[in-house]
Amino acid sequence: MKAPTLDELRRYAIARTLFKPTTLPAAIRKLGFVQADPMRAPARAQDLILRLRVNDYKAGDLEQRYTRLQIEEDCFVNYGFVPRDWLPLMHPRIERKPWDAERSRHAQQLLDFVRQNGPTHPKQLLEAFAHHGRMPGYWGGELNVSTQLLDGLHYRGHLRVKRRDSGTRVYEAITHSPADDSPQARQARAEALMDKVVALYAPLPAASLGYLTTLLRYGAPHLQAQTRAVCKSAKDRYAHAQIDGETWYWPMDEKPRSAKYRAPEGVTLLAPFDPVVWDRRRFERLWGWEYRFEAYTPAEKRTMGHYALPLLWGEQIIGWANLRVERGRLESEFGFVDKRPAGAAFKAALQEELDAVARFLALA
């Protein structure tokens, strides 16, 4: 079979992921994993990802409808939302770094409280317990130890997110069924997880497939040996081709050269964690420049801005946008790799996309 060209891979990468907008449940099933991020610039990453794939989607719809959807907040290759039927592939999750005796005792007290009291807001726990110690938080600053214990219990599969109240996770207890721990069953779970990675982020250069395999240590730390084995045998499991000296992988039943893969017309503003642009290695190979996410970069060192959204124009990502809401209006600033496209077509398409973002944000 003739190998696809980079142009065909680019078209395939866009079209297979930016599918025709559908319902929210159908979009989540089709994507599989929706990465989450707490920043609003101008909306959270999960909302920016879903607005392109769900009809009439508004910022916050996922949070509002969460309890009615068959999904869970959990770790996959990062933290986000996964279909509920993925959980048996990752749980019971065995943490590589067990807690010490004191922390285990405090965690058990918190878990017992949630089991006895039902859906629990962290504030209830902080009022009920005197765990006054504090420790560095993952995002910098400090978090109460009890909050980190809740995170740990959630990660280990003892708690689930029942809902969010004003963005804060409300937890309830959960018990996962024991997993078949035979070598064959562990291998089957690892293969299924790797298939989901490839289905979400294909086409993948070999280096990216290896990197994503290491990221599965978040979702399935106890299956690392098995996922590495799947990665090593990727040529037997996934379609692949050598392109410009590099091996690329995609699902066996897909054909990147197919005429059905057509990039959307017009302008599309993508979230930094959108599957189209998430893989920075692939981004540079397909579009020929280095995109940076600089939200955690000191302001004086940023080259693209606080929360630069890649700007897709047809099949090319030609620059980025920083959006913000001021006094109820959407304000925008743009940067371009080369020159800003001239002509009425680009101007009209860009305005149409900005209007779509304003509607998504429910701005007048």
Determine the residue type at 263.
A
The verdict on residue 21 lying in a domain is no
Whole-model pTM: value is: 0.93
Q: Based on the structure, what is the number of domains in the chain?
A: 2
Domain closes at, from 110, 145, 173: 173
The verdict on residue 262 lying in a domain is no
DSSP for 205-234, please give it.
EHHHHHHHHHHHHHH-GGGHHHHHHHHHTH
Handedness of CA 272, 68, 218, 158 (dihedral sign): positive
* Three-state secondary structure call for residue 240: strand
Alpha carbon of residue 357 to chain centroid: 20
Token pair, residue 40, equals 């609003």
- Give how far Cα 188 sits from Cα of 182, 217, 231, Å: 10, 16, 13
How far the first Cα of the chain sits from its last, in Å, is 52
Rounded mean pLDDT for each run of 10 residues along the chain, 364 residues in total: 92 96 97 95 97 97 96 97 96 85 89 94 78 45 67 95 93 93 96 98 98 96 96 97 96 95 93 97 97 94 96 97 95 96 96 97 90
The verdict on residue 8 lying in a domain is no
Q: What was the pLDDT predicted at 263? A: 87
Reference 156, options 106, 90, 72, 110; nearest CA is: 90
Containing domain of residue 345, as a range? 267-360
Reference 109, options 125, 124, 95; nearest CA is: 125
The verdict on residue 278 lying in a domain is yes
Could you give the CA distance from residue 306 to residue 165 in angstroms, rounded to a whole number? Answer: 27
Could you give the CA distance from residue 195 to residue 3 in angstroms, rounded to a whole number? Answer: 21
For 327, which DSSP code?
T
Determine the residue type at 244.
D
Q: How many CB atoms lie within 10 A of CB 116?
A: 9
The answer to whether residues 47 and 362 touch, using CB atoms and an 8 Å cutoff, is no
Instruction: Say which residue the tokens 């969460």 belong to.
Output: 66
The verdict on residue 29 lying in a domain is no
The verdict on residue 246 lying in a domain is no
Beta bridge partners of residue 247, listed in sequence order: 242
The verdict on residue 279 lying in a domain is yes
At residue 314, φ and ψ (nearest 5 deg) are 70, -120
Between strands 316-326 and 329-336, the pairing is antiparallel
Reference 123, options 106, 140, 144; nearest CA is: 144
Q: What was the pLDDT predicted at 225? A: 96
The verdict on residue 257 lying in a domain is no
Domain closes at, from 127, 149, 173: 173
Could you give the CA distance from residue 101 to residue 286 in angstroms, rounded to a whole number? Answer: 50
Domain closes at, from 141, 173, 205: 173
Q: What was the pLDDT predicted at 147? A: 80
